[in-house]
Amino acid sequence: MTTGPLTWGLKTTPQRHANNREIPYAQAKVLGGGSSINAEIFTRGHPSDYDRWEKEGAEGWSFKDIQKYFLRSEGNAILSGGWHGTDGPLGVSNIPDPQRMTRAFVQSCQEYGIPYNPDFNGPTQDGAGVYQTTIRNNRRCSAAVGYLRPALKRPNLTLVTGALVLRIVFEGRRAIGVDYAINDKRMTARADREVLVTSGAIGTPKLMMLSGIGPAAALRSHGIDVIEDLAGVGENLQDHFGVDIVAELQNHDSLDKYNKLHWMLWAGIQYSLFNSGPITSNVVEGGAFWYGDKESVSPDLQFHFLAGAGAEAGVPSVSKGASGITLNSYTLRPKSRGTVALRSADPRDLPVIDPNYLADPEDLKISAEGVKISQEIFNQPSLQKYIKALRFPDKNVRTQADYIAYARQYGRTSYHPTCTCKMGTDAMSVVDPQLRVHGVDGIRICDSSIMPSLVGSNTNAATIMIAEKAVDMIRGNA
């Protein structure tokens, strides 16, 4: 779901440290945002990620401060206790019947030396296991399903779709609403109290700059009147840079067999009649958190195992008619920093996105280590007995130089852009710890763009946590 009409069709600038490739950069164009098109993985990150936020100027955002918001959002169908919520709007569940290849992957990780972990959101992140997912009753539970749908009948909520927000409207230095357009008809929505911006780490800095909030020189170069000169808007872009390996299987032991018509029909019957079968899978069922740098105090690599091949745009598949498996790895806390900039003052123009992948040598080193570990996991007995051949990369990729070259040529986004309107008190911060935009009144930002630094996991759960905490702030309870 990372291509097609549910996304904006974005791509990066040529990445100078990744062989000058323009990398597809899917961002959701649908209710629920990324939670409606992602792999449904529910991971929070390491507690130290949030303690680091507080050290970076986000007072009140340490793990002990924000854990309750994770629990408040979570409606876990299986787990409870101090690490899990059971009554939240966001349905969370364990995969009821992991694919055979997923189980073999978890066993192979243990054979390699990565211990089994039944709960990545529990006391320990290290290990390999099956992901918890944002699935309820075998259906995706996006933010739109969990939060928006139950609220649609409220008299104080109006949902407008098919609309493009053009800019935030100001009276003096106070935001009083937003201009938006449906087709060619322009309208204004007025705010009684505040404008809440939730357009994500790409859309939010774009909207802020279109509205006159951002680096003054850049805004003036596009003919935009400056409301507030904030140098940090669009800066500090951080994302997980993922690298995949793909193996072809001896038999049809992965989800790829359901590309064949008769298996596809059977899967549809299973799901329609029994609410079971492969359609209930999120495909990315298994994973691991482990160490590329053995001196790291917390895992610095995350792995995603796909019980299939060719499911990800831009990642090669296996021979026609064959079945395969995929293992993706990425550096959890990259040191490279990128930017989001305006292409023009026209809101319909796509932004200029430069993640600046692999600019820091440490990112390249850990990425290469991820590929090496991925190959080692595929070489373990529990998976190797099913594998016909490693198709991508080929068997000649063996040295450190090979792994580095491979990462440069085939690495891609993991769809976790963050930090482009970061929270803090330094000169490059955009919002304060109450999520209020510096220098103006009446605007809060409540999305992944406010993260001071990227968390060491998938970002959906952390973004929803931010929104839960924002609710208390708006109500004056935090």
pLDDT attached to residue 1: 57
In angstroms, what is the C-alpha Rg of the chain? 22
- 8 Å CB contact between 387 and 303: no
Q: Cα 406–335–209 angle (5° rounding)? A: 110
Q: How far apart are alpha carbons 42 and 133 in whole angstroms? A: 5
Positive/negative CA dihedral, 110, 114, 115, 116:
negative
Instruction: List, in sequence order, every residue forming a beta bridge with 128; answer none if it has no partner.
Output: 116, 288
46 is catalytic: no
Omega cis (within 30) before 24? no
- 8 Å CB contact between 204 and 232: no
pLDDT attached to residue 96: 84
- 8 Å CB contact between 382 and 101: no
List all residues 6 or more positions away from 193 whose beta carbon is below 8 Å from its beta carbon.
Answer: 442
Q: How far apart are alpha carbons 271 and 292 in whole angstroms? A: 40
pLDDT attached to residue 390: 94
Nearest to 104 by CA among 364, 360, 379, 418: 379
Nearest to 12 by CA among 401, 233, 338: 338
Q: How far is CA 254 from CA 62, 92, 249, in A?
A: 41, 24, 8
Given the residues 240, 304, 416, 438, select the one marked as catalytic: 416
pLDDT attached to residue 3: 66
pLDDT attached to residue 275: 84
pLDDT tens for the chain, residues 1 to 478: 566 788 999 999 999 999 999 999 999 999 999 999 999 999 999 999 999 999 999 999 999 999 999 999 999 999 998 999 999 999 999 988 899 999 999 999 999 999 999 999 999 999 999 999 999 999 999 999 999 999 999 999 999 999 999 999 999 999 999 999 999 899 999 999 999 999 999 999 999 999 999 999 999 999 999 999 999 999 999 999 999 999 999 999 888 887 878 878 888 988 888 788 888 889 999 999 999 999 999 999 999 999 999 777 667 788 888 999 999 999 999 999 999 999 999 999 999 999 999 999 999 999 999 999 999 999 999 999 999 999 989 888 889 999 999 999 999 999 999 999 999 999 999 999 999 999 999 999 999 999 999 999 999 999 999 999 999 999 998 6
Q: Cα 423–457–31 angle (5° rounding)? A: 75
- Domain architecture of the chain: domains with CATH: 146-233+420-475 (3.50.50.60)
- 8 Å CB contact between 22 and 416: no
